[in-house]
Each structure stands twice: as structure tokens, then as C-alpha cells.
Structure 1
Amino acid sequence: MRQTFDETTDPSFGAKHLPLVRAKMAEQGLDGFLVPHEDEHQNEYLPEANDRLAWLTGFTGSAGAGVVMQDRAAVFTDGRYTVQVKAQVDAGHFELRDLVEGGVPTYLEQVPKGAVIGYDPRLHSPDALATLRRAAAKAGAELKPVQANPVDLAWGDERPAQPTAPVVPHPERYSGESSASKRARIGEAVAKAGADAAVLTAPASIAWLFNVRGGDVIRTPLPLAQAIVESDGRARLFLDPAKVTNELPGWLGDAVQLEAPEALPSSLEVLSGRRVLIDPAQSSAWYLDRLEEAGATVVRGMDPCTLPRATKNAVEIEGSRQAHIRDGAALARFLHWVDTVAQIELPDERTVVEALERFREETGALKDLSFDTIAGVGPNGALPHYRPVTRTIRRMEPGSLLLVDGGGQYLDGTTDVTRTMAIGEPSADQRRMFTLVLKGHIAMATVRFPAGTTGHQLDALARLPMWMAGLDYDHGTGHGVGSYLGVHEGPQRIAKAVNTQPLLPGMIVSNEPGYYREGHWGIRIETLQVVTPAKTIPGGERPMHGFEQLTFAPLDRRLIDVDLLTAAERAYVDAYHAETLAKVGPLLDGEVKAWLEAQCRPL
């Protein structure tokens, strides 16, 4: 289950690989080259063969970018990876820069006038590319597409083969709707958008539409593939024959034509004269270029699978409930271990990560983690998305806090949960800060809102208790989550940044306010919740949506300052713990069940 590129990747990668890439750049007349983290499918998590940034630099995070010039180079990461990038990348060969503040566009604005900067059109979305072009133009530089990627050429025969994990059916007992029904719906959406066909390049859309799952991407059960869907629901699925299992053709049916990926370019050409829907935010510029060259009329619009995939049906929601109960039992065993064995042995962060993974594996249902587990002790917990890397691993110590954020991939659902635990006796300050975070978490869990409300409009509710104390946190409050798909799924989001997508019934989002005291410790409380259908509240005049809690794992009672909670907030915690005991308790026995009963008693 662990990544092939280990998080302790040799920092000398840059010294070894930069000269090789620069030589290939020179052969193409390039002064620079852009190396995004994203691959041809705009994936967050990548197969090893597509992790070009990791091969070039040693950095293995899930978000980043690189720029290679003939005389210098830079790696860009966000605040989640401040520690990791320093441990993995040789700062003598790469300047370490912020991905968000300025990022690659600002860097391009400073390249020499007349510089020719290459890019692989298969790796950049048109929207992102437009921003980069404007930045290069400010410097008087040129962005030039390449036919052959210099990184791939430099990697050469050592580059791993593309993954060929078998693509398997995802039965209707998990999906809740047949592929034929989905394709009919998507065909109607394509026609409504004024198009004759749609090109789908997002692996999550492929997996959802055809009711299949794969194993090409770590942490997410995706098949790497593309599809062309007609307005009548017929489809062509471009899939490596090595991935096609004996049962797959029959599962897909006669209305789906299987073809090899090599047939995709010619299949785009035959769309000449037709109106073709494509999502410029999810599909690379290469697709739009090929369609326009073929004489097709490009209709830019959201991937038609995005919203139907995000709004889970009743079967998927029930599957998520069951996955979270199963996962909750694993979490209870883990939290019991932290509260007993670990409090005595004081293990390091890597041991904590391995323990949580072990408890999830013991469910017998875990297919993979949903992301690399985050476990931060003390100052490392103050880095919101810290991962234990060799140079920074800390041991648990009395008086500190342990923040653990992890999740699992199960056939019936995807989980993601964060709990913060006291090591030894917490201080009054730690209890106060934890309780402020808890108050914001409760506000988001209990809110009611009318149809049309966006996550952007709700975000301040989770921050208000902290704002009143002069505090805040620098990440979003909630992200969408898939159904045995990606742990990060759009278009819904709860964050300060403006998001125009309303929260719709069936959408699953996280609720994860936090607080981070640099150099000391961090706090985050995260559960997943699903948007409920609108109903009229007694005495109310308008139907309101709300959230149903999906995650059930006890909070650390020692960190709750009950005096800071209102009566309604105390009632919420008691009710949440009672429901946790009722749902998870039957899966436990012995010491762990007794421990859970004690943790879930009323405040």
C-alpha cells in the first residue's frame, strides 16, 4: 500500500537528473522547461511512471511544480509540505519557493527576455496554461509546446512502465445505479449543453460512469483511461488491453466500444464538424488543440459527470455509513492504543502511522489508504499536512499533543478523519484551544441552510469562535469526498475562497477546523458529513438543508474544557458520543469496548 517513491527519496536526485534534463532541453532549443506535478489525467496521486517531479527533484508530495532553466531551477510547494520538501530536495540545486504566494507565474515573469520555455501540453489544463502564458509574456519570453517531454527523454529506459492494473466491475450494490442509466443521463446533459459528444479525461469520471474501478493510481482506485460519450449514451472507452479482464466487455455491454489508447488521436480527428463538450479545468490543453485542429467545435463546460458523481445516491450514502462504522471500530482500537500502550512506550510518529494502518487492515475490508497518513507530535502537529519523514520524525512526549489524520478506501466508501490526542496531562491552554476548535466544528455540524447556499458562505461559522479570540487557521474547512473514489473531490468545498457551487443533497464534505501554534503543537478535528435533503424545521417558513454525521470516533475528553461549551454544545457532544457508542460499540469487545464506553459517557 505504500508508495514506491518513498518519502525519504534521495535528495541527490537533482544533482543526478538535472544535467540529463538540461541536455535534452538544449537539443530542443529550450532555455527552460515546466514540470508540473500533474500527469496526463490531472491526477492528485500518481503512478510512479508519471511522477516526473519526484524523479527530477526527490519531492513526493501530492501538490507541487518545478521549473528547470539552463542555469538554475526551482521547486514550488504549498504550506503542507514545508518540512517535507526541505528533507527531500537538495536546496543547492533547487530554489525552494511557495506554490501559492506568487508560484510559477511570478517566477516566469522574471525569466530573461527572449527565453523559450517549453511545456508538455498533455500535462497542463488550458486554464492553467493561459495564466502561465500571460506571465511569460510579461517577461518577453515564449511558452513553446514540445512533442517529446525532456524529462521523459532523460528518464529513458529507467522509467517504469505505465501501470496495467486490471479494471474490474463496481457492482450496483455499491454504485446504486447501472452504467447504462448513468450514460443515458450524461448523454442528455451533453445534448443540453449544446454538444453532440463529450470527451472525458478525468479517471474519476471514467470510473463513475462505467461503474468500474482500477488500481493504476495509489490511494485512489482509478483506471487511467479516456472516453468519448455520445449524446445518445453510446460510448467509446480507450483502455489499455492489458487492463481488460474477461468479465469487463460483458459488464460494459454492447453500447460501449473498447479501444486501445493508441486509437484516441484518430478518434478525436473523426469528430470534425461536430460540437464536442470538454472541461478545460480537468482536461489538458492537448485535447483542445487536437479537437480544434480536427475542425471540431469545442464547447467548454464542466465535465458532465462531475455533479452527478458528487451528489451521492441512497445506496452510496448507506455504503458510506457502513464504511465509516467499520472504520470507526478500527479508529477506536487505534485511539485505545494511543491512550494506553503509546502513553507508556511513547513511540515515534512512524510507529503511530503503522499502528493506524494495521488496525484498518485488520478490518479485512481495506483496499488501500485514502491518502498517506499524517501523524504529527508537538511542533510537527503545527504543520497542517505534515508527513513523518526520516529527518523530522519525533517521539511522543508527555505534555504534548498528537495529531493524526488518515483514511481508508473500502468498496462501499471512502473515509477521512482527524483526531487530536493529549500525551499525558494537557495544559489549560491546550484545552482552551482544543475547545475553541470544537465549538467551530459543532457549529458546522449543526448548521441549517437554505437551497443555493455554498460552502464559501458557511465557512465563517467554523471560524467564528476562533475569530472572537483573535485566531484563525490557514486552510479550508471542508473538501468533497468520493464514493470509493478520491478523498478530495469537487466541485463542492467549504473555504474562505469563493466557490459558486451550492451544497446539494448527497454531497459528502469534511468538517475540519484547526489551530496551529508554530513550534509547539497543532489541533484539528475532522469528520465527514453528508448534505441532507431540505425539510421544514418546526416553526420555520423555508425548507432547510443540514448535515448528517458519517464519521464516528470519540473525542479526547481530557482536551475538552466543558466550561467553555454552551448547553447546546455539550448536548451535541453527548449525543455524538452516544451515537458513536451505539454504532461502533457492537464491533468491539473486551478492554477496547470498555474504554469506548468510558470515552463516550456524558460530559
Structure 2
Amino acid sequence: MNLDEIKQYLTEKNYDAVLITRNNHFLGQDVLETENRILALTGFSGSAGTLVVTKEKAYLFTDGRYEIQAARQTDPKTTEVLCGRNETLTNWLREKFPGRAKMEYNPWCLSIREVDTLSRLLPKLKLVAKAQTDDLEPASVFAHELRYCGVEATEKYRQVVEFLRQNGCEACLIAGADSVSWLTNLRSDALPDTPVVRAMALVRADADITLFADGLSFPLDTPCRVLPLAKMEKELAAAKELTFALDEQRTPDAVRRMMEKHEIKIRPLIDPCLGFKARKNETEIRGIADAHLRDGIAVCKFLCWLEHNYEDLSELDVVEKIHELRKQQPLFYSDSFPTIAGAGANAAIIHYQPTENTNARLEKNSLLLVDSGGQYFNGTTDITRTVALGCPAKEMTEKFTVVLKAHIALASARLPQGVSGNAADIICRSVMWRRGLDYKHGTGHGVGCFLNVHEGPQNFSLHASSYPLAENMIVSIEPGYYRENAFGIRIENLARIVVDEESGMLKFAVLTLAPLDKRLIDKYLLTDEEISWLNDYHRDVLQKVSPYLTEEEKIWLKEACSSL
């Protein structure tokens, strides 16, 4: 249905609104274009959005990363964009429907917690569930080999079962595709950039794992039962005597409705896979470091090429070249997300992705922001570099140096054991705040191992979860600055959380290997400690990457990494 047909449907059903999310029934942000309802209805392609359609108009809720993009991609005659920290969905619904109202939603595409929050905060709003699942495209499943994942699936199953027993449960339904992939050591080609197996898993302490999936072709030696999604309710009903753990934030409301129908006892608990998956094992740590070396080689080759060729390039040329160089690296599988390559004013659109219609030429005396990453069989990468094309303006160097100071503040910080990502966010963001600056995105996120480039439960944001940071988590550090219609700056490295031997506190060991553009750095705005950090980082990049470059590239990298 298009927007007009939805409005007609609301009139026929006597409903006031319908709530549409970008999620599929695994509640993941990664969806195929053909599954993206919000894109089809409004033209908005961002990875975060909720759409409310009323009889009069459509209202798109998104966050600060997409404020400019949403305004450009939608038609204001049919869709109003609502964005910002204070413009919440619940506040808007309360004002829009002060009396009694009915709103339809798909219980497969809204989590238990989201439904409960709406019900609790909006008691006059009646939520009407209409279940509908996507017809998934056929895809293949393959094993993630032990030499890359490090731990047998049987041991991961044992860890999860022990977690359940410690919390008084005998079973759990795992709905997150990333968790299912980690638990089973399986991956899939269903999505272009994220190799997750789009399945749900029933884990019982007294039986093997059962997977529920549609459209997937599994290897013959898959070590678990595989059933169609339509069989889930029957399997849950057969386990009705067991106490189930259920992650209310990561499980569709439709699953809870099935369980309640069969009077299954539910205990709200965090997905047991999340903590185990976030803390990388020794094999993963070695593999991730190797993947970042390979990625660093590709990115350094790209930056050298860019410096010598930028005057004849477009944004799409940049996207193509960095993919080509990554593809040449051993163990490369795919990009880890569509490359963000913003030239000039386009870089101020935080998650801008060039298309044939928006493709801009690279211009002299401007900035280029490139946010990209790779999926390797032994690790996942994510890096952002902002590059001066020619001679940057003074404002550009000043703002870049402030962003660098913010980055170094967190990268060199020590954090007490047990602290959450909110504290890390403030360490970084406060450097910007002191100068009256800010950025409309989180400071960092977790990263998987040949899995999601955005992984929880850890993240660095003002609204970060309370989940404590821990040793061997992989995180990004990525402050930025964006001036609409002018330029954008972001500096992003990935790091592993390690324990400082002297203090016992947590600190960051940088994984990403590529130089920062010294032409954009005003060293007189840096402290001696900040200059020392930067020089040490560049020395590490030069030492590790240089042996894999051509003579011309080595000369370029030596200059790019020379002391400030």
C-alpha cells in the first residue's frame, strides 16, 4: 500500500493511525531495500526511523544523524519530519491524540519493551496488533570456521544454558540474528554487508538448539534442528512447562503474544549471547588485529591514491576505489556497510551515501569525509577519515583540531571497572561542549567479529545502556563536527578495551591503522600530551603498514606519519 491507500484503510477500519518501523521481524536495522517500508512510503533511506501515518498525513521520526537527509529525501506535502532529542514519539502521540484513539502496529516489527512503553505512557491509545512477516529472499548459510571464531558452538551453548540456570530459567527464545549467528558459528549471504543468519533460536537446557528460519539453505552438517518460522508457536507450546528467559528489548511483541496464549512463564532477562559475544576470545582478538592490519593497508593505499588523483574524481569514484583496494586483501568478504563518501557540503549530512543523482565532484580547497569498513572472515572494521583536498580554510583546521582533541581525550582515558558507555561519551563530548560545539550522534558503538558493524550491548552515547564496559570489547571512538551546507568532520578509530596493568582500570588499545591528515591539524591548539599521543599513533601506523606498500606509497606514508 502507498500512503493514500493506508489513509483509506484507516478510514475503513475506523483507526486513527498506523505505526510503521524500518525493522524486519528480527528487529534489525539491516534490511534489504525491498523490505524497507519507510523507504517505499516516503523515500527516506536512513537506518533509523519510525513512521506514523494518520488520515491526514505521514510523520517521520528519526534522530540527529538524519535531520538533513530526511528533509531532503521526503516530500513535505505528504510527510512531516520530526527530529531531535525532545521530539519523542510518545510525546507527539500524547499531543496528537489527547482522547481515546486506535493505532495499528505489526507485533513482529515492534519489541516487547516498545509496546509496553507505549501502553504505559499512553493509556488512552489502544494498540491494535496486525501480524505480518516478510517473505525473505533465498540465501545460503555457511559455517564460520573455528580458526576464525575460536570457540565451538557446543561450548557457546553450554555457556548460555549455564547463564539460564543461574537465573532460574530452563529455556530462552533468541530473536536477534546476530546472537543466533554467534551462538551457532553460522553466517549467511542474505544481506550484502552483514553476514548474519536471519533466524531465531529456541535454546532449551534439555534439548538441542532449534532454529526457525525461512528462505535459508543450511549446510547438511548444521548441528541443530531447522524449522520454518511458522512452526515456532507449536514448538513453544510443546515447551510450556519451562520457564523462559526473554530479552524484552530484542524480542518481537509477536513472540510474547504466542507465549501468553499458551500460558508460558516468562522471566525478563538480557539476551545471554550479548555479553559473551561482546567480549572477544583470544582467537577473535588475534583475528581482529590482523583484519585491521589488512584494512589499514587498503586504506593507506587509498589515501595515497586520493592525494594524487582527487582533482579528477567524484564521490562514487571514491566509493569504488576503496572497495577495490579492500577486495584485494586476503580474507576480505564484503564491505561492512555502504561507504559514506561526502565531498564538501555533503559531508555535513552525517550518514550521507552518494547516488547517481547526488554524486558530487571533489573540489580543490574543500574537505572529503570517508566513513567505510570491511568484513573479513576474521574481523569487522569501521574507519572514518576526513581529508583536506588542497589548502583547507582556517575554520576547517580549527574545527578538525577540536574534534581531534575530543578523540584523543577518550582514546587516552582511563575508566573505572564497571562504568558504562555514558561516562565515555561525556569524556569525549565535553571537549566539544567547552567550545560551544556538539554532534548529533553517539561517540561510539560496539563492533562484532565478522558480524554487525554496530554491536551491543556496549555503546558510547548520552543515552547509553547501563551495561558495563569490559575487557576485550571492541568499540569505536568517533566524535565529529558538522556545519550544514559547508563541510563535515569525523575522526573514527576502533579500539579494544584492555586493563591497565598499573591502575587496574580500563583503557583503549587502538586497532585502526591509517594516518590522520596533518594538514588539518593546528598543533598550537594541542597540548604536549596530545601531540605525543598523535606521534605515537602515527609511528605505530608507519611501522605496521609500511612493509606492505609500494615504494611510492611508503614515501607518502612516511611523510603522512612524520612527527608533528
Which range, TM-score by smaller chain? Answer: over 0.9
The answer to whether residue 553 in structure 2 is matched with residue 592 in structure 1 is yes
What is the CA–CA distance in structure 1 between the aligned matches of 2:218 and 2:161, rounded to whole Å? 24
| Aligned match of 1:78 | 63
- Offset of residue 42 of structure 1: 0.5
Aligned ranges for residues 67-216 of structure 1 at < 5 Å? 67-98=52-83, 100-109=85-94, 110-111=96-97, 113-134=99-120, 136-137=122-123, 140-147=124-131, 161-216=135-190
- Offset of residue 374 of structure 1: 1.3
| Aligned match of 1:480 | 446
Q: Secondary structure at the match of 2:453?
A: coil
2:65/2:441 contact within 8 Å kept: no
Aligned ranges for residues 404-423 of structure 1 at < 5 Å? 404-423=370-389
| Aligned match of 1:155 | none
- Offset of residue 97 of structure 1: 2.1
2:161/2:205 contact within 8 Å kept: yes
Residue by residue, what CA displacement relative to the aligned partner does 1:76-110 show, whole Å, maximum 9, x if unpaired?
22222234333433222222222753243233221
Q: Could you tell me which of 230, 238, 245 is aligned with 1:262?
A: 230
- Offset of residue 594 of structure 1: 1.7
| Aligned match of 1:6 | none
1:184/1:233 contact within 8 Å kept: no
Residue by residue, what CA displacement relative to the aligned partner does 1:286-338 show, whole Å, maximum 9, x if unpaired?
11111121111101010000100000111111111111111111111111122
The answer to whether residue 419 in structure 2 is matched with residue 453 in structure 1 is yes
2:141/2:216 contact within 8 Å kept: no
Superposed CA RMSD:
2.1
1:188/1:232 contact within 8 Å kept: no
Q: TM-score, normalised by structure 1?
A: 0.89
What is the CA–CA distance in structure 2 between the aligned matches of 1:26 and 1:566, rounded to whole Å? 64
Aligned ranges for residues 498-513 of structure 1 at < 5 Å? 498-513=464-479
1:108/1:135 contact within 8 Å kept: no
Please tell me the residue identity of whatever aligns with 2:194.
Answer: T
What is the CA–CA distance in structure 2 between the aligned matches of 1:111 and 1:544, rounded to whole Å? 49
The answer to whether residue 538 in structure 2 is matched with residue 552 in structure 1 is no
2:22/2:48 contact within 8 Å kept: yes
Q: TM-score, normalised by structure 2?
A: 0.94
1:47/1:163 contact within 8 Å kept: no
What is the CA–CA distance in structure 1 between the aligned matches of 2:132 and 2:10, rounded to whole Å? 10
- Total equivalences in the alignment: 563
| Aligned match of 2:268 | 300
- Offset of residue 533 of structure 1: 3.2
Deviating more after overlay: 386-395 vs 400-409: 386-395
Q: 1:518 to 1:241 in 2, by over 3 A?
A: closer
2:65/2:440 contact within 8 Å kept: no
Unaligned runs of 5+ residues in structure 2 are none
What is the CA–CA distance in structure 1 between the aligned matches of 2:524 and 2:216, rounded to whole Å? 61
- Offset of residue 356 of structure 1: 1.9
What is the CA–CA distance in structure 1 between the aligned matches of 2:433 and 2:41, rounded to whole Å? 42
Aligned ranges for residues 307-326 of structure 1 at < 5 Å? 307-326=275-294
Q: 1:96 to 1:449 in 2, by over 3 A?
A: closer
Q: Secondary structure at the match of 2:139?
A: coil
Unaligned runs of 5+ residues in structure 1 are 1-15, 153-160
What is the CA–CA distance in structure 2 between the aligned matches of 1:228 and 1:408, rounded to whole Å? 31
What is the CA–CA distance in structure 1 between the aligned matches of 2:63 and 2:40, rounded to whole Å? 19
Residue by residue, what CA displacement relative to the aligned partner does 1:8-39 show, whole Å, maximum 9, x if unpaired?
xxxxxxxx822333455555553321111111
2:346/2:487 contact within 8 Å kept: yes
- Offset of residue 497 of structure 1: 2.5
The answer to whether residue 29 in structure 2 is matched with residue 44 in structure 1 is yes
Deviating more after overlay: 588-597 vs 118-127: 588-597
Q: Could you tell me which of 557, 565, 569 is aligned with 2:530?
A: 569
Identity of aligned residues (%): 37
Q: 1:241 to 1:77 in 2, by over 3 A?
A: closer
Q: 1:83 to 1:348 in 2, by over 3 A?
A: farther
Q: 1:595 to 1:379 in 2, by over 3 A?
A: same
- Offset of residue 404 of structure 1: 1.1
| Aligned match of 1:10 | none
Q: Secondary structure at the match of 1:187?
A: helix
The answer to whether residue 357 in structure 2 is matched with residue 373 in structure 1 is no
Q: 1:498 to 1:324 in 2, by over 3 A?
A: closer
What is the CA–CA distance in structure 1 between the aligned matches of 2:17 and 2:328, rounded to whole Å? 49
1:454/1:499 contact within 8 Å kept: yes
Deviating more after overlay: 389-398 vs 38-47: 389-398
Q: Secondary structure at the match of 1:372?
A: coil
- Offset of residue 232 of structure 1: 4.9
Please tell me the residue identity of whatever aligns with 2:142.
Answer: V
